[in-house]
């Protein structure tokens, strides 16, 4: 599976304020670029922290892109994926509507009753990991369901776990012209952090959009030069 991480951050590396409220960091040109990246993906993945904070929908904005996908024999919108160890996704979350398939990656810690409730609400529930979702195992199970190209939109905990699992192939970071600050505000990669053997990034492109820049990187697989 090919994995593309895309996120928007402030100049000081924050994805949102310390209140974890959704914030417009980029503008219309960048949202259009994000829509293009979504349209190329088989599935778009977020963590449950993002679902609880933002209630995202994760479908395409541009109808033309949906039509083009259908013309190519693909679903109109990419599938949606939530990394959610204990099944905290609210049953009335927008991500569970019938606009696209939604996979919930849960761990074995989610009891059967909750799994059934989430399935009744529209999710296809996939168990990967014991206490916490095992990202590598979850992605393997998504690959079994036909997901060849995955876009990861955040938040910081899940992006860190994707890097830690060594599954990221590309990173695109929009850097908006603002400072958010706050030691508790989410950053591009939170989690435990690396102390050695940092992800191996190569800058492949820079582009100006709205009042900011997009930095694009290729990410080497573990052990790759
Ligand atoms: N500016 C941007 O591009 C974006 C900003 N955001 C912001 O990010 C914030 C949410 O980010 P986070 O709090 O970091 O939450 P997150 O969206 O990364 O979800 C993390 C949660 O997922 C669950 N989880 C289960 N297994 C996991 C695993 N193996 N690794 C990591 N998490 C696992 C845990 O409950 C964990 O707390 C919100 O404020 C949202 O607005 C989110 C997406 C994009
Ligand atoms: N790429 C990007 N730029 C921004 O300025 C943002 N605020 C975000 N946020 C994330 O976009 C998702 C919203 O999805 P829907 O519009 O509901 O489909 C959500 O994950 C936000 O956190 N992204």
Q: Of 72, 80, 100, 190, which is closest to residue 142 (Cα–Cα)?
A: 80
Q: What's the confidence (pLDDT) of residue 225?
A: 45
Q: Check which CATH number belongs to the domain holding 202 and give it.
A: 3.40.430.10
Q: Which atom of ligand 1 is nearest to the CA of 174?
A: 3
pLDDT in the model for residue 22: 83
58 lines ligand 1 (CB under 6 A): no
Is 225 among the domain residues?
A: no
In a domain, 181, yes or no: yes
* Helix, strand, coil tally for the chain in percent (to 5): 25, 25, 45
Q: Is residue 53 part of a domain?
A: yes
Q: Output the pLDDT for position 224.
A: 56
Cβ 104 under 6 angstroms from ligand 2: no
Tokens 């706050």 locate to 182
Which position has the token pair 């541009």? 62
Q: What is the ipTM of this complex?
A: 0.96
Q: Distance from CA of residue 114 to its chain's centroid?
A: 23
91-135 residue pLDDT tens: 999 999 999 999 999 999 999 999 999 999 999 999 999 999 999
Low-confidence ranges of the chain (pLDDT < 50): 225
Q: Whose CA is nearest to atom 14 of ligand 2?
A: 56
- Does some domain include residue 199? yes
* C-beta of 147 in contact with ligand 2 (< 6 A): no
* Structural domain includes residue 192: yes
Indicate which residue's Cα is closest to atom 31 of ligand 1: 158
Domain assignment of residue 224, yes or no:
no
Does the Cβ of 53 fall within 6 Å of ligand 2?
no
Is residue 15 within 6 Å of ligand 1 at its C-beta?
A: yes
CB 30 within 8 A of CB 208: no
- pLDDT score of 221: 82
Q: Domain range spanning residue 126?
A: 2-219
pLDDT of residue 95: 98
| pLDDT tens figures, 135-145 | 999 999 999 99
Q: Answer whether residue 73 is part of any domain.
A: yes
User: How many structural domains compose the chain?
Assistant: 1
Is 168 contained in some domain? yes
């Amino acid at each position: 599976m090919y994995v593309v991480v895309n996120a928007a951050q402030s100049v000081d590396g924050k994805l949102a304020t310390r209140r974890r409220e959704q914030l417009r960091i980029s503008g219309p040109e960048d949202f259009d670029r994000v829509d293009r990246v979504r349209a190329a993906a088989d599935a778009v993945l977020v963590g449950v922290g993002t679902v609880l904070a933002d209630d995202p929908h994760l479908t395409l904005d541009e109808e033309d892109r949906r039509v083009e996908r259908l013309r190519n024999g693909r679903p109109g919108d990419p599938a949606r994926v939530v990394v959610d160890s204990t099944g905290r996704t609210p049953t009335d979350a927008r991500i569970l509507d019938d606009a696209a398939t939604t996979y919930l990656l849960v761990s074995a810690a989610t009891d059967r009753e909750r799994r059934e409730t989430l399935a009744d609400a529209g999710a296809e529930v996939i168990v990967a990991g014991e206490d916490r979702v095992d990202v590598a195992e979850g992605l393997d199970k998504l690959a079994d369901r036909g997901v060849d190209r995955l876009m990861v939109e955040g938040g910081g905990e899940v992006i860190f776990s994707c890097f830690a699992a060594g599954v990221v192939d590309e990173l695109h970071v929009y850097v908006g012209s603002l400072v958010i600050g706050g030691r508790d505000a989410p950053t591009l990669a939170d989690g435990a952090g690396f102390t050695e053997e940092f992800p191996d990034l190569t800058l492949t492109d820079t582009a100006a959009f709205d009042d900011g820049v997009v930095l694009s990187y290729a990410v080497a697989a573990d052990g790759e030069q």
